Amino acid sequence: MKSHIAVLPSSGMGHIFPLFQLAKKLVLHHDVHVSFLVITTEASAAQNQFLQSSAAVLPDLTIINLPPADVSNFITGDMRLATQLSIITRESLKPLKHILMELNPMSLVIDIFTTDAIDVCKELSIPVYSFFTASTVLLPFSLYLPMLDREVEGEFVDLPAPVEIPGCRSMRTEDLLDQVKDRKNDDYKWFLLHVSRLPNTSGIFLNAWEDLDPVRLKALNETPFFKNIPTPPIYPVGPLVKETDETLTEKDAQIIAWLNTQPPESVLYVSLGSGGTLSSKQIIELAHGLEMSQQRFILVARKPTDANAYAAFFSVGKDRENDPSAYFPDGFLDRTRGVGLVVPAWARRWRC
Q: Render 276-334 in DSSP notation, one character per residue.
A: ----HHHHHHHHHHHHHHT-EEEEEE----SS-TTTTTTTTTT-----GGGTSPTTHHH
Residues in the chain: 352
Q: Give this prediction's pTM.
A: 0.83
Contacts of 301 (CB under 8 A, 6+ apart): 283, 322, 324, 328, 342, 343, 344, 345
Q: What is the pLDDT of residues 265-304, one digit of tens each?
A: 899 999 877 666 788 899 999 999 999 999 999 998 888 8
4, 15, 98, 116: which one is catalytic? Answer: 15
Does residue 15 carry a catalytic annotation? yes
111, 116, 187, 213: which one is catalytic? Answer: 111
Tell me, what's the pLDDT at 350?
42
What structural domains and CATH numbers belong to the chain? 3-236 (3.40.50.2000), 250-344 (3.40.50.2000)
Contact in structure between 190 and 83 (CB atoms under 8 Å): yes
CA angle 269, 271, 276 (to 5 degrees): 170
Q: Where are the beta strands (DSSP E) in the chain?
A: 3-8, 32-39, 61-66, 107-110, 128-132, 203-206, 234-236, 267-270, 296-301, 340-344
Does residue 111 carry a catalytic annotation? yes
Q: What is the pLDDT of residues 173-229, one digit of tens each?
A: 999 998 999 999 999 999 999 999 999 999 999 999 999 899 999 999 999 999 999
